[in-house]
Amino acid sequence: MSRHVSCNDCSLSPICLPLAVAPAQLNELDNIIHRGRPLRRGEHLYRAADTFTAVFAVRSGALKTYVISDEGEEQVTGFYLPGEIVGMDGISTAHHISNAKALETATVCEIPFHRLEELSQKIPSLQHHFFSLMSEEIRADRELHRLLSKKSADDRVASLLLSLSARNQRRGLSATVFRLPMSRYDIANYLGLAVETVSRIFTRFQQQHMLKVNGREVEICDRPALCGQGRLQEEA
């Protein structure tokens, strides 16, 4: 995969920023985007307190964002798959407030934020799309809030699986068979559970024939049952 795929040629463009931009203007957007070298598993895209200069579109692979609390504990705040935009939480503070780390080999498109703002001044649909993206992120956070409040651990795990499934489907991939890019630890941390709990739930779901799990490979066998377990579709 070349480092210089243009937005025109990118298979993700229907779900990424270009969505909002008319073909005639796509070059302008294309020109401000930097394609960096791939990140290896474990590498950071940015760290908390880095000055905020850009948002990033995930092109391949997967990332997680996390913060470290004052007590030194990690809190995973999100997972980002191809086509999704990461780094929008830094706009208000001028520096990033979370860390973004590659869960596996990943490539991203870097979109300098002040250039994006300039361009948004000229292209109303781009401004709207970006407002919309952020609004979507807020919506997803609300959904997550609901999930974490409505205690049941089963619901949480089911919801995450369904969310990943939906996001996979959006990229034109299978909604039933896929690979989890993150560890059990990350899942547990994200959902506010103990690793052991997540593990137990995976085995139980399997015993109930809702799921086939083999390490990070997952197959959803009984989607209705999984849905009944807990709702949630998204995460921007």
Partner DNA sequence: CGCCACATTGAAACACTTCAAAGTCGGTGG
Partner DNA sequence: CCACCGACTTTGAAGTGTTTCAATGTGGCG
Residues that bind DNA (CB under 7 A): 151-154, 183-185, 192-200, 202-203, 213, 215-216
User: Which residues lie closer than 8 Å to 152 by C-beta, 6 or more apart?
Assistant: 230
Out of 22, 49, 138, 177, point to the residue binding a second copy (CB under 8 A): 138
Out of 136, 153, 221, 223, the only residue in the binding site for a second copy (CB under 8 A) is: 136
What is the side-by-side order of every strand in the sheet holding 74-80? 44-46, 99-102, 63-68, 74-80
Q: How far is the CB of 118 from DNA (least distance, A)?
A: 41
Q: Is 214 in the site for a second copy (CB under 8 A)?
A: no
Whose Cβ is closer to DNA: residue 9's or residue 196's?
Answer: 196
56 binds a second copy (CB under 8 A): no
Q: Does 112 bind a second copy (CB under 8 A)?
A: no
Q: What is the CA radius of gyration of the chain?
A: 18
Contact between 128 and a second copy per CB under 8 A? yes
DSSP 51: B
As a whole number of angstroms, the distance between CA 151 and CA 102 comes to 29
185's contact among DNA, a second copy, none, with CB below 5 to 8 A by partner kind, is DNA
d(CA 110, CA 119): 15
**DSSP character for 22?**
-
Closest distance of CB 59 from a second copy, Å: 22
The residue (of 16 and 198) whose beta carbon lies closer to DNA is 198
Classified as helix, coil or strand, 58 is strand
**CA–CA gap between residue 56 and residue 168 (Å, rounded):** 19
CB of 99 to a second copy, least distance (A): 12
